[in-house]
A and B are shown apart, each in its own frame.
Chain A
Amino acid sequence: MTDIDIEQYKITEEPYYEAMGNEVALYEAAYEARMPVMVKGPTGCGKSRFIEHMAHKLDKPLITVACNEDMTASDLVGRYLLDANGTRWLDGPLTTAARIGAICYLDEIVEARQDTTVVIHPLTDHRRTLPLDKKGELIEAHPDFQLVISYNPGYQSLMKDLKQSTKQRFTGLDFDYPDSKVETAIVAKEAGIDEDTAAKLVKIAHAARNLKGHGLDEGISTRLLVYAATLINKGIDAKEACEMALVTPITDDKDIRDTLVHSIDSIFA
């Protein structure tokens, strides 16, 4: 715990991010006050990219934890390991972040079990402490430490919702797919294709997003659009690229496939 290489958590290259509104300013203000932030939005709309971008902008280390169902509190906080001389304590990612003053980003927090998520509570209010009860240590969070969680309200079941007591410790930023103009710019920039093709891809995405809730759990994300555009850039025929990147991954429903394939066909003349 003494020799943690902070530099490894720094983001060296500026991640490309196109602002949709004034979320950058809002985030900066929240960081100024070290307020915990929750970013909400559908999958693949740029939540993680935004956090990376902000970490780079603020020049702070970023520790990302992808949450899953089997994650326990010790996976976040740390645990004792046995070794030849007895036992040794190993910090978890949350503890590390609190010690070095990093931005700790818990991705898809609802996937973790509810008893896991409560360990973040003392870090997120005025106390800004993390008790390691097994170790008998109380960590005072580093002044630069900030907690960010991401949260996708869309597809998870009712069983997987955050508790009110957790939700109310965060300020929220709502993300959605960018509007067509911005999205076109993003796709064109990320994949290096012309604006015209990018605009067509965005149109297909809009057609699919209209089907959300009518057989589709999630629409086509910006990330998938970038995939499709990248394939096109590699010289793949546009229609095939779209089918591969935009249709096949998101659905197994034949009727939806047919509809999407038709919309691709009518947009790429």
Chain B
Amino acid sequence: MTTKVTTEYPHHRKQLKCSFEQIEDCFDDYMKDALRNLSNEGIEKYLSGASLVCMIGRGWEPVSIYLEEMPQMVHRLGDEAILEIISKKVWDMSRSPNGKAIPPFMQCLPEASRRLGTLEQMQHFLDILFDMVEQTTTSVHGHHKTHSSQGFLVLLEQIPFLLSQLSLEGLKNWIEYGVRNYNNHPERQKDYFSLQSADSKAMLQRERHGTLYMDSERKLDMYMRSMWQQEEYFVPYSLGFDELRKPQPYYDELGMRVPDVYDDLNGVSGINRYRITLAHMAAHKLWTQRQVADNLSPFQRIAVETFEDSRVEQLILRKYPGLRKYFCALHPAPVEGDCDNEKESCVRHRLAMISRAILDKNHGYQNPVILEYVEKFHAALAEGESSTKEMLNLAISFTARTRLQSDLLPTVRFENTEVAYRDDNRHMWVFIEENDEAEDDTSQPQSKETVEPDGLPPRHYHEWDYHTTSFKPDWVTLYESLYAPGKASDIDKILEKHSALANYLKRILDLLKPQHYVRIRYQEEGSELDLDVAIRSIIDFKSGAQPDPRINMSHKHDGRDIAVLLLMDLSASLDEIPDGCSQSILELSREAVTLLGWSIEQLGDKFAIAGFHSDTRHNVRYHHIKGFSEHWDDSVKARLANIEAGFSTRMGAAVRHASHYLEGQKADKKLLLILTDGEPADIDVTDDKLLIEDTHKSIEELSSKGIYTHCISLDKKADDYIEDIFGANGYTVIDNVDKLPEKLPKLFMSLTA
């Protein structure tokens, strides 16, 4: 207890008000570092900051991290203000429920400062972090901040990784998304911030910097097609989640594996890095012959692969010489003599050197063996394409010539030897005997696919979030199925019941059927003289110009070419019987749709009916009642007869799904009719406006695809929101629900006449 370690800096030690034994041992070292990096004023701040951290009462660990790391951080950021900022933050945290997060917070700082580089950026980063803490630290019953932030601890652990993947802007978006969506769900919040949940990864993917594969897929497809005449499947893999062993590009029968994102590197843009990677693989496909691997040692194989890689690259350059600048920029340039033969294995280093020397004439290497083999390589290719076999022999003789005892050392020099755009060459080798080396673990446990009993695999749709004015990717899951049939005769009964109305409609239909005439002008021969043109011709003639002989016109009637999809809201509220009615809204809707379906069948327009309801975002149901190609027959009637109400109204996803069917239809005009009794809502959404805005967005998406939408609302209070969704002319509110069966077909006719 009483042992007092003597220090070289007693004066400074006195300024540090902290008596943990653990820091005594290292205090001199800390001070040496501090004196090197800090000004006198800085030293004062440093020691008083450390004293503050010491006083928070969280043991010796935080203060020792502070003492150890801060001088380096100041050095990296170039500003001593960070000393006080950090000690202040730590002090604040210790006075909040988030005291536990102090050690991990301190630990993530060095990495953050290394990534961010300036005080301004660092300040920005801290703001992002503490905004998040502020928002996720909850209070109960009005007590001031009582519960610690659930996500903060796990978030801190992920910070180094996140910073390597995201820009600060991206980090901010990613964190804010998590805070917004999981603020009142602690467990999910943890999943999100520890990168466990699917949407957390999806969001991360979206915010990544660099060129995303997803954005460039079409370009790459075109690249392969136009320059290599190859049609390939691409399978992207993520570089984000394997820290130990970075996956490499490769190809097999199933397609070419490429990373999901490429940052710009050495002045080569992401898209060009993709192209170079693909060019390399395409060249292998064209020019590499498979070799038997069994008789070769691993070293020999690496050598063969290197020579073969160089060979195909030379062949690429013959075809596309303009690519040389990219290859040279992306290929590492190992420095001769960088690798110490005594201490480490230089196999990779030697091979990278020869590969560089082959590629780049200005390599400047002196090693005679390297130069000799570069010579031999070029000689082999001088005559033509050479072959993989020839490369194999060259490589084996190279390994034999350059073999060293130290090659077998466990420490292999990797620096500057990895060529990121080259694939792993698994396609080059045939193994005759089963390999006894450890295989890559390809036998991932196959997850059993859960088979949906009814219908197609689920589809995912994005949803608009007006808070951020961005889409939440793949947010809603939609299942579609065929509606179970009931009794078709019920529908016929409805028609009988409304026979008077049906007759009336029929009369309107007959008027509608011989559709409007179109005048075709400028006809040389036609049914009538077009006076305007005739007079113009005479004037032309009188004035000596050549008259236009096409002075007649004729008529033809324009065919109706329209596709309509009726989307019925089947939510639980349809079971209500509105005031003054004897039937539920559902029954009235069914009658209305019956009459509409019947009349449209008479008109012969393309027509489909579907219903939807939702039970949280994980389960939006989309029911087929009538398809475009089906006629108004018993099976359709049976499905319509059986419709039932249930669950809620998540309209956006259903609209998006309906639009994809309409898009597939060939018609001049496309119309989506939505029949609903209330505003979009779902039980997992507390903010009413969210789904209203999302539906509005989906309507906008449709109109940009040339699909008209019209909503028929049975909600008397619809005026409050409906214009926000469908626009000024995009809706009709039917107050008198009783009249729906009559109004709906009429409305349709007036819309399409």
Residues of chain A at the chain B interface (Cβ within 8 Å):
72, 74, 79, 81-82, 207-208, 210-211, 214-215, 255-256, 258-260, 262-263, 265-269
Contact = CB atoms under 8 A, between A and B. Distances in A.
26 contacts: A72-B550, A74-B524, A74-B549, A81-B547, A208-B226, A211-B225, A211-B226, A214-B222, A214-B225, A215-B218, A255-B218, A255-B222, A258-B271, A262-B223, A262-B272, A262-B275, A263-B223, A263-B226, A263-B320, A266-B227, A266-B321, A266-B322, A266-B323, A267-B320, A269-B321, A269-B325
Contacts of A269: 321-322, 324-325
Contacts of B324: 269
- What is the predominant secondary structure among interface residues of chain B facing chain A? helix
A174 B15 CA distance: 95
B225 A81 contact: no
B504 interface: no
B323 to A, nearest CB: 5
Nearest to B523: A72
Contacts of A208: 226
The 10 residue pairs across chains A and B that have the minimum distance between CB atoms? A269-B321, A266-B322, A266-B320, A207-B226, A269-B322, A259-B222, A210-B226, A266-B323, A255-B219, A211-B226
Contacts of B323: 266
Chain A interface main SS type: helix
Given A258-B271, A259-B219, A263-B226, A72 B320 contact: no
Contacts of A82: 541, 547
B468 interface: no
Nearest to A219: B226
A79 B223 contact: no
B222 A256 contact: yes
Interface string B212-232: 000000110111011101000
Nearest to B219: A255
Contacts of A267: 320-322
Contacts of A255: 218-219, 222
Interface in B535-581: 541, 546-547, 549-550
Contacts of B524: 72, 74
B219 A263 contact: no
Contacts of A79: 549
Interface residues of B, number: 24
A87 B320 CA distance: 67
A215 B272 CA distance: 21
Contacts of A72: 524, 550
B221 to A, nearest CB: 8
B321 A210 contact: no
Contacts of A262: 223, 272, 275
Contacts of A263: 223, 226-227, 320
A21 B222 CA distance: 31
A72 B227 CA distance: 44
Contacts of B272: 262
A210 B224 CA distance: 9
Given A82-B547, A210-B229, A265-B322, 11 more contacts: A74-B524, A81-B546, A211-B222, A211-B226, A255-B218, A262-B275, A263-B226, A266-B320, A266-B321, A266-B322, A266-B323
A207 B219 contact: no
Contacts of B221: 214
B270 to A, nearest CB: 12
A259 B322 contact: no
Contacts of A214: 221-222, 225
Contacts of B219: 255, 258-259
A207 B227 CA distance: 5
Contacts of B322: 265-269
B480 to A, nearest CB: 30
A52 B275 CA distance: 43
Nearest to A260: B226
A214 B227 CA distance: 14
B228 to A, nearest CB: 9
Nearest to B538: A82
Among A79, A258, A259, the most chain B Cβ lie within 10 Å of the Cβ of A259
B563 to A, nearest CB: 20
A81 B275 CA distance: 64
Nearest to A211: B226
A72 B523 CA distance: 10
B271 to A, nearest CB: 7
A258 B275 CA distance: 12
Contacts of B229: 210
A82 to B, nearest CB: 5
Contacts of A258: 219, 271
A215 B547 contact: no
A82 B551 CA distance: 15
A237 B223 CA distance: 24
Residue of B223, B271, B524, B546 with most chain A CB atoms under a 10 A cut-off: B223
Contacts of A207: 226-227
